[in-house]
Each structure stands twice: as structure tokens, then as C-alpha cells.
Structure 1
Amino acid sequence: MAARHSRHIALTEPLIAYVEGQVAKGDYTSISEVVRSALRLLIAHDEAKAARVAASTGSANVRA
């Protein structure tokens, strides 16, 4: 998928080494692909957390 917008981000040296290593191993074709994958995982994590909170709030309301 081609990027629609370009953004510049600052990464620490360990993060740069990690993403460059992922590309060098062939796991990803570009640093942008690594970042997009990481963001997708973060979104999924946040959505799962929100679902857990909603479920626990909903079950607490049923007990009240």
C-alpha cells in the first residue's frame, strides 16, 4: 500500500537498530512497513483493552 502522507518521526538509537534489523533480516521491506505493523498491533491492543473495560463495566452494572 502506498503512503498517502509522509511524516517524520524521531526514534531512539535502540529503536532505529531494531527496525533496521527487521528490514535487514527481510521480515519487512521498509522501515515504514515496520512502523505500520507496530501501529496496527498497538491499535489492536488498545481495542482489546477497551473491550475488556467495557465488559467489566457492563458486568458491574448487571450486579448493581
Structure 2
Amino acid sequence: RGMTPLGAIQAGTLNTADLLGTPDRGRLAPGLLADIIAVPGNPLADIRALERVSFVMKGGRVYKQ
């Protein structure tokens, strides 16, 4: 059956950050750095939404695809 969409997203974000000893990464919270992506749709309902990235924000700058 595999991982749930939430489990897969967490494995690639906050779980990885914690394993690497960088708990200030991999999550959205006040005062933390935020590199994010936006996708059309809800990746928790359909993980394939992550294949259709609308934009990337890195270091406070938006990069449009």
C-alpha cells in the first residue's frame, strides 16, 4: 500500500530536516526560513499534484515556472 500522501510529504520535509539536525528547516512556522512550492490542487488528496509546480519561493524570491 505504501505511504500516505501526508507521510510522503513529511518524509521529504520535516522528517529529513530533523534527521539532518536542522529543525529550523522543513516546516512553516514564524521566524523560520521558508522555501516553498505552490501546486494546483491538494497534494493530500492527490500526491501527483506535486508534479505540477506553479511556482517556487526560495530565499524570499518567487521563481515562476
Scaled by the length of structure 2, the TM-score of the pair is 0.32
Larger radius of gyration: 1
Write 1 or 2 for the structure with the bigger share of helix.
Answer: 1
Write 1 or 2 for the structure with the bigger share of strand.
Answer: 2
Scaled by the length of structure 1, the TM-score of the pair is 0.33
Q: With CA pairs under 8 Å and 6+ residues apart, which has the higher RCO, 1 or 2?
A: 2
